[in-house]
């Protein structure tokens, strides 16, 4: 059984298309505002659930309309939400997203209730029946570290998406089975240049030297680079028409988690994840763009 626990963020995404990103102090005309469920934790939960996994999510939302809508949306996507707390002392997390005509995005995040996800929200019973834990950095780092250690004690695989980029203690690097940054995040995490593939590989190896086991760097249109002590392998991306890149990374990570638990080799799991990421950029919005298992199958067999 593909059972996944996600501990992370839930946001309401306020999305507007614009002809370009505004310069400082500039006001430009955009299209109609769209309100979409988001947050890296929620996105990755839905990504894995749509691919057939049984997913439980832990997080916090405000006791407001946005929070109730986010929980309802997860339930509609077959994500178990009984461990999500509605916190009446704060607002639900919100992301303001501008999308340009090329599908690139610029995001400002207001964490809200996500900043209040604390270690005591996660107990030993939270991991019952789960085989893999997905973590990101849109909740406090102390909670991430606590969750990773508890998961390893319970025998789970741990996948860490270090986004937004945040200093990773060596202890957390050693605890996680897979570290999943994009190239920009890798540069911020390591302080190394990442302007070409050789530089990305060198930067990833600095994390391996600190104790990381597997680094998988998403490279957008170039694909994904696997770096570990045994091998380095570039898995090419699939060419598609880009509409919106907002949830491409989350689709990739959900796909990777499902691929690993389905028993695929790491290279095959990353290739499966690349299909998920490619399909996600062909549609507008975060969660609405996440592919189903049938979508992936049809794409592979096209």
* Mean pLDDT, range 16-34, rounded to an integer: 95
Question: What H or E segment, with its residue span, contains residue 234?
Answer: strand 232-235
Q: What is the span of the domain harbouring residue 180? A: 3-11+38-93+113-300
CA distance from start to end of the chain: 28
Q: How confident is the model at residue 2 (pLDDT cuts 50, 70, 90)?
A: low
Specify if 106 maps to a domain: no
Specify if 181 maps to a domain: yes
Specify if 21 maps to a domain: no
Q: Which two tokens stand for residue 185?
A: 């995040």
Specify if 239 maps to a domain: yes
Q: Going by C-beta distance under 8 Å and a sequence separation of 6 or more, which residues neighbour residue 71?
A: 10, 61, 81, 84, 86
d(CA 71, CA 84): 8
Instruction: Please return the burial class of 198, using the count of CB atoms within 10 Å of its CB with bins 0-12, 13-18 and 19+.
Output: exposed
pLDDT in tens, 103-144: 888 888 899 999 999 999 998 888 988 999 999 999 999 999
Task: Of 38, 14, 172, give the one whose Cα is nearest residue 96.
Answer: 14
Specify if 118 maps to a domain: yes
- Among 177, 250, 262, 268, the active-site one is 250
* Mean pLDDT, range 231-259, rounded to an integer: 93
Specify if 153 maps to a domain: yes
d(CA 31, CA 283): 17
The answer to whether the bond into 13 is cis (omega within 30° of 0) is: no
Q: Is 287 helix (H, G, I), strand (E, B) or coil?
A: helix
Q: How confident is the model at residue 246 (pLDDT cuts 50, 70, 90)?
A: confident
- Flag the least confident range among 29-33, 121-125, 159-163, 222-226: 121-125
Residue 288, domain CATH: 3.40.1190.20
Is 250 a residue of the active site? yes
Report if pTM > 0.85.
Answer: yes
DSSP 289: G
Question: How many separate domains does the chain show?
Answer: 1
DSSP 182: B
Specify if 202 maps to a domain: yes
Specify if 26 maps to a domain: no
| Beta bridge partner(s), residue 13 | 36, 95
């Amino acid at each position: 059984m593909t059972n996944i626990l996600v501990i992370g963020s839930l946001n309401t995404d306020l999305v507007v298309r614009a002809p370009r990103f505004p310069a400082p102090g500039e006001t430009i005309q955009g299209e109609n505002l769209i309100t979409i469920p988001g947050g890296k934790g929620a996105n990755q939960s839905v990504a894995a659930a749509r691919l057939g996994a049984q997913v439980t999510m832990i997080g916090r939302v405000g006791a407001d309309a946005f929070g109730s809508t986010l929980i309802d949306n997860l339930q509609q996507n077959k994500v178990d939400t009984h461990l999500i707390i509605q916190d009446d002392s704060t607002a639900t997390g919100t992301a303001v997203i501008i999308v340009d005509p090329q599908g690139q995005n610029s995001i400002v995040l207001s964490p809200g209730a996500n900043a209040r996800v604390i270690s005591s929200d996660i107990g030993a019973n939270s991991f019952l029946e789960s085989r893999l834990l997905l973590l990101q950095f849109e909740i406090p780092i102390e909670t991430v570290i606590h969750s990773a250690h508890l998961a390893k004690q319970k025998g789970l695989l741990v996948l860490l998406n270090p986004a937004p980029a945040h200093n990773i203690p060596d202890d957390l690097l050693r605890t996680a089975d897979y570290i999943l940054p994009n190239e920009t995040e890798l540069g911020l995490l390591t302080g190394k240049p990442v302007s070409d593939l050789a530089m990305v590989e060198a930067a990833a190896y600095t994390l391996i030297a600190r104790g990381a086991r597997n680094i998988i760097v998403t490279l957008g249109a170039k694909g994904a680079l696997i770096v570990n002590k045994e091998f380095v392998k570039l898995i090419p991306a699939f060419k598609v028409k880009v509409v919106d890149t907002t949830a491409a990374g989350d689709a990739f990570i959900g796909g990777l988690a499902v691929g690993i638990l389905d028993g695929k080799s790491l290279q095959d799991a990353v290739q499966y994840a690349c299909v998920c990421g490619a399909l996600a950029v062909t549609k507008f919005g975060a969660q609405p763009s996440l592919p189903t298992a049938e979508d992936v199958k049809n794409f592979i067999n096209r």
